[in-house]
């Protein structure tokens, strides 16, 4: 008496699951990239515009995997961007060695990040639902 099994369905299921996981990673990177671009779009108008150089220098950096997390860089390569974001001492006197005041930070990036973070759960829920629906999974 012999025993035989057909594992074709299991193999197909495994292939489909891997494809879904790959597509999900692509979806997640795109979603986070969109959220980072929203942060930049909100940050630019909050950035002081003396010459416009600081405002126009905001850019999206790398999206990288760190452990089970994804990190996205939002950067401004202008040398004084951190001083404007967080504030800085104002120096004066002979040789600019005396502190004469404090420039309050504008927190243009922090405020924008906080706003987008508050929006993310509902935006993610809608985007993930649409992603699943495209894959033939309707869970609502």
Count of structural domains, the chain: 1
136 assigned to some structural domain: no
Please tell me the pTM assigned to this model: 0.82
Task: Report the alpha-carbon distance of residue 106 to residue 84 in Å, rounded.
Answer: 6
32 assigned to some structural domain: yes
Q: Are 53 and 15 in contact (CB under 8 A)?
A: no
pLDDT, tens only, 12-68: 778 878 888 889 988 999 999 999 999 999 999 999 999 999 999 999 999 888 888
Q: Are 43 and 58 in contact (CB under 8 A)?
A: yes
Q: Are 90 and 102 in contact (CB under 8 A)?
A: yes
Task: Report the alpha-carbon distance of residue 41 to residue 33 in Å, rounded.
Answer: 12
101 assigned to some structural domain: yes
Question: In terms of residue numbers, what domain contains 101?
Answer: 10-131
pLDDT, tens only, 63-110: 888 888 889 999 999 999 999 999 999 988 888 888 889 999 999 999
pLDDT confidence of residue 27: 94
Q: Rounded to 5 degrees, what are φ and ψ at 81?
A: -60, -40
Burial 15-30 (b: 16+ CB within 10 A, else e): eeeeebeeeeeebbee
54 assigned to some structural domain: yes
């Amino acid at each position: 008496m012999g025993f035989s099994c057909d594992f074709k369905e299991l193999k197909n299921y495994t292939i489909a699951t891997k494809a879904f996981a790959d597509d999900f990673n692509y979806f997640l990177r795109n979603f986070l990239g969109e959220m980072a671009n929203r942060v930049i779009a909100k940050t630019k108008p909050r950035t002081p515009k003396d010459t416009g150089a600081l405002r126009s220098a905001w850019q999206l950096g790398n999206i990288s995997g760190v452990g089970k997390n994804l990190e996205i860089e939002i950067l401004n390569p202008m040398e004084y961007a951190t001083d404007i974001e967080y504030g800085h001492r104002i120096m004066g006197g002979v040789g600019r060695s005396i502190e004469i005041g404090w420039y309050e930070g504008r927190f243009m990036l922090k405020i924008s990040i906080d706003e987008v973070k508050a929006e993310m759960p509902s935006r993610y829920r809608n985007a993930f639902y649409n992603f699943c629906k495209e894959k033939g999974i309707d869970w609502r």
